[in-house]
Amino acid sequence: MSRKNQTLGEFIIENQTEFKYSSGELSKLINAIRLAAKVVNHEVNKAGLVDIIGAAGETNVQGEDQQKLDVMANEKFIQTLTKREIVCGIASEEEDDFISINSQDENHQNKYVVLIDPLDGSSNIDVNVSVGTIFSIYRRVTPVGTPVTLQDFLQPGRNQVAAGYVIYGTSTMLVYTTGHGVNGFTLNPAIGTFYLSHPNMEFPETGKIYSINEGNYIHFPQGVKDYIKYCQMEEQDRPYTSRYIGSLVSDFHRNMIKGGIYIYPKSSVASDGKLRLLYECNPMAFLAEQANGKASDGFGRIMDIEPTELHQRVPFFCGSRLMVEKAEEFMQKTL
């Protein structure tokens, strides 16, 4: 039975029977993510003291300027997951292609692939705003003992066996699900241990916060414009409050606790939206659904989308269930 202030390690052990393929590997995998997160947290918290803020001078596969902390976080997570020989493959938002990991044992039995956004919202580092890490775990579909293929990564979100995020803010939290609810663990920096602080996290059924970059309003589809106007109307339960941090992890985390909706739609300048299906939308959708929320592309369930490429982008509507459903109503009216 989970209890507040239980350590993450204790929680994993006590709840491992809820994991569909319980064999100890999930514990090792979450522990590896925990270790890498603590290293990244240490670097984030001294960002103003050492030369790791600002642009790295390179662009990633999406053509975006990489921040120095993007590069560092990417390296730390890949190194940690690789050295522990737990996974057979890793895909990162910062890498052009997936990484195949073959254990030193020719008959390695690693069954899991990890997809990761190592540092979501990294441009906020320079101004001391919360950032995060997002991860998604799948059981491979190709034969165990063989090199992974693209097929192992291009799975719909409904196939996820675990997903979560780490938020580096006023406190550092690791929030994850294995399909049996969502639990949040806060890092005690004095001893380097994560403790269960937010058991059984859930979105309120509805809320009063909408999170969207309204600076792009002119480029939004009509359904999104209509929904924004709905949020701003003077009614009994409105207007809603606009809150947008620019870090998916931070916006999602706030809305899950307080009640709200996050929207990053397609637009006239981004026909498929901006967020990546595999690294951002699917893991957040899994968390949302496990926390009594909903995640959609404006018309249908995010986790039912069949991926076609590693860095595929999709529109994203996520948050309190009734708010997402209302946004979908406005989108349907414009068909």
Note whether residue 105 is domain-resident: yes
Q: Does 299 map to a domain?
A: yes
Decide which of 48 and 301 is more confident: 301
Number of domains into which the chain is organized: 2
Report whether 20 belongs to an annotated binding site. Answer: no
pLDDT in tens, 64-92: 556 678 888 999 999 999 887 789 999 99
Helix (H, G, I), strand (E, B) or coil at 252: helix
Confirm whether 213 is domain-assigned. Answer: yes
Pair 259, 154 in one domain: no
Q: Which two tokens stand for residue 242?
A: 């606009």
Tell the residue number behind the tokens 């994993």, with chain if given.
12
Report d(CA 118, CA 116) in Å as an integer: 6
Q: List, in sequence order, every beta strand (DSSP E) within the chain.
A: 55-59, 65-67, 87-92, 99-100, 112-120, 131-139, 160-168, 172-177, 183-188, 193-198, 209-211, 241-242, 260-264, 293-296, 316-320
Q: Are residues 215 and 309 in the same domain?
A: yes
- Domain presence at residue 1: no
For residue 248, what is the enclosing H or E element? helix 248-258
Residue 3 has pLDDT above 80, yes or no: no
- Note whether 99 and 232 are same-domain residues: no
Q: What is the residue range of 301's domain?
A: 209-333
Question: Does 280 show up as a binding residue in the annotation?
Answer: yes
Same domain, 64 and 124: yes
- 117 belongs to an annotated ligand binding site: yes
Residues 287 and 329 in one domain: yes
CB neighbours (10 Å) of residue 139? Answer: 17
Per-position DSSP letters for 84-107, written without gaps between them: TT-EEEEEETTSSS-EE---SSTT
| Choice between 325 and 106, residue whose per-residue pLDDT is larger | 325
328 in a known ligand binding site: no
Geometric angle at alpha carbon 71, from 188 and 175, rounded to 5°? 35
3-state secondary structure (DSSP) of residue 291: coil
Q: Is residue 2 part of a domain?
A: no
Q: What is the mean pLDDT of the chain?
A: 89
On whether both 108 and 130 belong to a single domain, the answer is: yes
Residue-level pLDDT at 66? 62
Task: Tell me: is residue 247 an annotated ligand-binding position.
Answer: no
pTM higher than the cut 0.85: yes
**Of the residues 198, 233, 262, which one is the last residue of a structural domain?**
198
What's the mean pLDDT in 21-30?
Answer: 75
Asked whether residue 227 falls in the same domain as residue 296, the answer is: yes
Residue 22 has pLDDT above 60, yes or no: no
Contact indicator for 8, 185 with CB cutoff of 8 Å: yes
Which CATH number characterizes residue 320's domain? Answer: 3.40.190.80
Annotated ligand binding at 122? The verdict is: yes
What's the rounded Cα separation, in Å, for the pair 269 and 196?
42
Residues 181 and 216 in one domain: no
Structure tokens at 249: 């992890």
- What is residue 58's predicted lDDT score, i.e. its pLDDT? 53
Has residue 268 been placed in a domain?
A: yes
Q: Was 25 annotated as part of a binding site? A: no
Give percent of the chain with pLDDT exceeding 70.
Answer: 89
DSSP string computed for 308-330: -STT-B--EEEEEHHHHHHHHHH
Question: 14 and 142: one domain?
Answer: yes
Residues linked to residue 263 through DSSP beta bridges, in sequence order = 317
Q: Report the alpha-carbon distance of residue 135 to residue 163 in Å, rounded.
A: 6
Dihedral, CA of residue 87, residue 198, residue 250 and residue 243, to nearest 10: 150
Q: What is the CATH classification number for the domain harbouring 51?
A: 3.30.540.10
Which residues lie across from 238 on neighbouring strands?
Answer: 235
CA distance 226 to 55: 37
Q: Which of 198, 230, 246 is the last residue of a domain?
A: 198
Same domain flag for 178 and 295? no
Tell me if 75 is assigned to a ligand binding site: no
Q: What percent of the chain has pLDDT over 90?
A: 68
Instruction: Please check whether residues 229 and 183 belong to one and the same domain.
Output: no
Q: Please tell me whether 120 is known to bind a ligand.
A: yes
Q: What is the mean pLDDT of residues 248-265?
A: 97
Last residue of a domain, one of 174, 198, 222: 198
Are 192 and 88 in a shared domain? yes
Is 244 annotated in a binding site? The answer is yes
3-state SS, residue 153:
helix
- In three-state secondary structure terms, 305 is coil
In a domain, 146, yes or no: yes
φ/ψ (deg, to 5) at 67: -90, 155
Element (H, E) at 257: helix 248-258
